[in-house]
Chains A and B, each alone.
Chain A
Amino acid sequence: MAISRLFIANRGEIAVRIIRAAQKLGIATVQGYSEADQDMLAVKLADEAVCLGSAQSKDSYLSIPNVMEAVRSSQADAVHPGYGFLSESPEFVRQVEAAGVTFVGPSAATIERMGDKVEARKAAEAAGVPVVPGSKGRIETVDDAAKVAAEVGYPVMVKAAAGGGGRGIRVADTEEELRKLAPQAQQEAEAAFGDGGLYLERAIRAPRHIEVQILGDGREVIHCYERECSLQRRRQKVWEEAGAICLDKKTCEALCASAVALAKDVNYRGAGTLEYLYDEVSNEFFFIEMNTRIQVEHPVSEMITGVDLVQEMIRVCSGEKLSITQDQVKRDGHSIEVRINAEDPHMQFMPWPGKLTAMSLPEEDGVRFDHFLYEGYQIPPYYDSLLGKAIVHAPTRAEAISKLKRVLTGIKLDGLKTTIPLHLALADDPAVQAGAFHTQWLEPWLAAGNLKPIQGDAA
């Protein structure tokens, strides 16, 4: 192993996860932390810890000068960025590499390319990966709109070419409707942006969010199958699964092969995820974006394949070849992860950064908790609300759901309010049990009052 001293430029549960992976590889760890995080579990577990600055992320975890200074002073020979913060900052990667330190992730150029929506779409098309069909460029007239719509297929969405923010967006199911709606969209675009140019693409109603986990060493790329993350609230995933029960075997194989093709095309190094929208009605999937880092929900892929993604990404970024080939990646059973957030689901998910007075987590086979909690820990209010994840693995999805219920019921986190009641209600819901949901499902479900207050919990 070319890496001997790994700097962790992150916090919370993922910092703990990275330290554990490094320890298994015999690598010494240096944990960066903010002044508000000096008591966090990762600081206690790491061999050394260096303060990055004050509590606000911009002065610590997001400050490239501060992180670089800590990396240099600690004499680390590699940096793991985790997720969020600087994990997808090409500028950070350039500075890490300029300091002669290994970045555990892809090159700055790859991050830049895949982080740009237009460039990523081009790269996908070049690799033969389906993208949401749409107009090649601006559309100026209603006749042009009708022509393109006939090619991409209805329903279609027209929107202002000039701007975002949902202004001027219309969805049409037929040409007749499009001919009525396109002029309205043009007028609205003209009024909002002074530019009546339109963009048109296929509208995917009620899409499912499917993604593929890949690993690359700069030459070879393998996949660790797909995940489904359609249960979302405010575009945040709350419940994730591997695999995706909505996909038939053939579609699943085509999906995973497309992810490998794209990652291979960009000589991908490290762990990455390609995100897709899946249209159940037409049985089509469309690439939307690539995340060039480890993801929160990576454990479900680890549970069904037995691959340690974090260890593997450290290995390949140190210059080693992938330690496994595609035919060695076997899938087994079904896995579900739920995000345990410090939020009160009965009070509009108000953040609840409390003090953990007593904790107990059930232990059994096929159950894993990734977290950064310990008894007496005061959750700092400055960062996101993720406390940890409960992950279960079972032979079938139905068994995984029962196991999840049993495990969630056995968790004791005194002094905190968490999203566990939400996950228990979801586990009991017939639609969730049937796997009949999509990305627009959870919010209306919540708005309809499906999450009932628990008796005796009259807060």
Chain B
Amino acid sequence: MADIVSPLPGVFYHRPSPDEATFKSNGDAVSVGDTIGLVEAMKTFIEIKSEISGTFDSYVASDGAPVSPAETLAKLDD
């Protein structure tokens, strides 16, 4: 199991926009560089990209939740 953490403080989002599907769901393949979510900070949306490959397990931080630097956003099975 590996964690994807937030590089910055902000608000975490699971979806590219409110009426779209989540970036990843349980069981999805994740490659290096895949976007798994967005962190909004200071009116800017930063794409959170996976630095490892594996299988998506679940989001840890909830959709729309404030997150801190190094906080776990999602878990992968590697």
Of the candidates B10, B11, B41, the one having the most CB atoms from chain A within 10 angstroms of its own CB is B41
Bound form: Cα–Cα A352–B7 in Å: 10
A378 — nearest CB in chain B belongs to which residue? B9
* Closest-CB distance, A25 to chain B (whole angstroms): 32
Contact B46 A353 (CB under 8 A): no
Q: Is B21 interfacial (CB-CB < 8 Å)? A: no
Contact A353 B43 (CB under 8 A): no
Residues of B within 8 A of A55 (CB): 66
Bound form: Cα–Cα A385–B8 in Å: 13
Q: Is the interface of A mostly helix, strand, loop or mixed?
A: loop
Bound form: Cα–Cα A55–B46 in Å: 19
Q: Mark A333-355, 1 if CB is under 8 A from B, else 0.
A: 00000000011000000111110
Q: Is B17 interfacial (CB-CB < 8 Å)? A: no
Residues of B within 8 A of A384 (CB): 42-43
Q: Mark B36-55, 1 if CB is under 8 A from A, else 0.
A: 00001111101000000000
Q: Mark B1-14, 1 if CB is under 8 A from A, else 0.
A: 00000011111000
Contact A381 B9 (CB under 8 A): yes
Q: Is the interface of B mostly helix, strand, loop or mixed?
A: strand
Bound form: Cα–Cα A385–B40 in Å: 12
Q: Is A383 interfacial (CB-CB < 8 Å)? A: yes
Bound form: Cα–Cα A266–B7 in Å: 49
Contact A351 B11 (CB under 8 A): no
Bound form: Cα–Cα A384–B40 in Å: 11
Residues of B within 8 A of A351 (CB): 8, 10, 41-42, 44, 46
Contact A350 B8 (CB under 8 A): yes
Residues of A within 8 A of B10 (CB): 351, 353, 381
Residues of B within 8 A of A383 (CB): 42-43
Bound form: Cα–Cα A383–B10 in Å: 10
B6-35 CB contacts (< 8 Å) to partner A = 7-11
B67 — nearest CB in chain A belongs to which residue? A381
Bound form: Cα–Cα A455–B7 in Å: 22
Bound form: Cα–Cα A352–B66 in Å: 15
Interfacial residues, chain B to chain A (CB-CB below 8 A): 7-11, 40-44, 46, 66
Using A384-B43, A385-B44 as known contacts, list a sample of 9 further A-B pairs with CB atoms less than 8 Å apart, ordered by residue number in A. A55-B66, A342-B42, A351-B10, A351-B41, A352-B8, A353-B8, A381-B40, A381-B41, A383-B42
Can you report 26 A-B residue pairs in the complex whose CB atoms are below 8 A from each other? A55-B66, A342-B42, A350-B7, A350-B8, A350-B44, A350-B46, A351-B8, A351-B10, A351-B41, A351-B46, A352-B8, A353-B42, A354-B9, A381-B8, A381-B10, A381-B11, A381-B40, A381-B41, A381-B66, A382-B11, A382-B42, A383-B42, A384-B42, A385-B42, A385-B43, A385-B44
